[in-house]
Chains A and B, each alone.
Chain A
Amino acid sequence: GEDVEQSLFLSVREGDSSVINCTYTDSSSTYLYWYKQEPGAGLQLLTYIFSNMDMKQDQRLTVLLNKKDKHLSLRIADTQTGDSAIYFCAEEGGTASKLTFGTGTRLQVTL
């Protein structure tokens, strides 16, 4: 079945890079996503990557996809306090339009 796993917590200093990792199980996933959830808010789409790509860069965000190992990562360059949030990866599995979300990684940015 579908399963998406993430580490629960990451702490980084302001200005450093953050790397949030995710592993998934469904090799048929077409798209993989990263969502951000700030306190008291819903999930907000940050970025996505198509499964035939290895990397996607969007300003401070870099997504790396290793399809062989079913590993997805999100790198945030120059991490700011406003980046403190929970980050969810998600895969679009075999059922069209149904996403499976990971457990979420809480990113804490310290001064």
Chain B
Amino acid sequence: DAGVIQSPRHEVTEMGQEVTLRCKPISGHDYLFWYRQTMMRGLELLIYFNNNVPIDDSGMPEDRFSAKMPNASFSTLKIQPSEPRDSAVYFCASSSLQGVGLSGYTFGSGTRLTVV
């Protein structure tokens, strides 16, 4: 398995533009998580899905953020409109309930977002 795949690796965009981050989880994993990492706040859980259904989105900072999981192999995190304070590294991770005790999460390599 190629692991959790995120795209793009780097994104630079202007304030006010829409940004879409993408994630392909590991096949067979039924949980998918979106995290944001910044120096100030560390690692924050934004939202997570189970079997494509959003379970907890209490970490989504504002209505400007939205996430979807249309099928088991794809998820998006969208920011519209983007602001400079959204600049961070966004990570996607997946896991399976059966295996969580043994494998924890598998993280993607992240998308480094810079909003100028």
Q: Give A contacts to B, CB under 8 Å.
A: 30-31, 33, 35, 41-45, 48, 50, 88, 90, 92, 95-99, 101, 103-104
B residues neighboring A (CB under 8 Å): 4, 31, 42-43, 45, 48, 50, 56, 91, 93, 95, 97, 100-110
Contact of B109 among A42, A88, A96, A101 (CB under 8 A): A42
Residues of B within 8 A of A43 (CB): 43, 91, 93, 105, 107
Whether the Cβ atoms of B101 and A101 lie closer than 8 Å is: no
Instruction: Specify the main secondary structure of chain A where it touches its partner.
Output: strand
Given contacts A43-B91, A43-B107, A45-B103, is CB(A104)–CB(B31) below 8 Å? no
The answer to whether B102 and A97 touch across the interface, beta carbons within 8 angstroms, is: no
* Distance between A70 CB and nearest chain B CB, rounded to angstroms: 19
Query: In the complex, which of the residues A42, A50, A97 contacts B31, with contact meaning CB atoms closer than 8 Å?
Result: A97
